[in-house]
Amino acid sequence: MMNANVSGLLNNQINKELYSAYLYLEFSNYYESRGLNGFANWFKIQAMEERDHAMLFYQYLQDNNEKVTLEAIDKPTSNFKSDDEPLKAALEHEKYVTSLINNIYSAAYEVKDFRTMQFLDWFIKEQGEEETNANDLITKMELFGSDPKGLYMVNSELASRVYSPPSLTL
């Protein structure tokens, strides 16, 4: 039987991951409206990854005979005034998700739930990658965003991103 606090935090994480998917779809909408289809593509794929993360938490709870409780997903808001705002918001959001994963890990550690800690190891590594990717996008926008040719090249690079499902096995 899983600790109730750990189970509750894992359930909550499903909602947070699905919210992340909504948020990144909102960012994709913004970039699509700006004619930056590469940035839009990058965030669409990011949304798919977040959806997959939610499903990994969902499956983990089910595999451990824990009740999954689905809650309403908040609507993301966006009133962006510049092309770098969604990128900065994405980095802050990834830092927030990292704190949530770390909080679940701490709760699992407190009750010696080694199985959950092992499950979360992949997410801890993934969050490091997510923060690095978000930071790299900000750097590229700062370097090339004010130059139309540079922005075109970055946009083209991001358009080539393809979806790759996570390789985590439960």
SS3 26: helix
CA distance 59 to 56: 5
* pLDDT exceeds cutoff 90 at 1: no
* Interval 74-85: pLDDT, tens: 999 889 999 999
What lies within 8 Å, CB to CB, of 17 at 6+ separation is 50, 51, 53, 54, 57, 97
| DSSP annotation of 75 | P
Dihedral angle sign, alpha carbons of residues 40, 42, 47, 51: positive
- Write down all domains in the chain, each with its CATH number in brackets: 4-66+82-159 (1.20.1260.10)
* Interval 118-169: pLDDT, tens: 999 999 999 999 999 999 999 999 999 999 999 999 999 999 999 988 776 5
Specify whether the CB–CB gap between 49 and 90 falls below 8 A. no
Query: What pLDDT shows up at residue 16?
Result: 98
99: left (phi over 0), alpha (psi -120 to 50) or beta: alpha
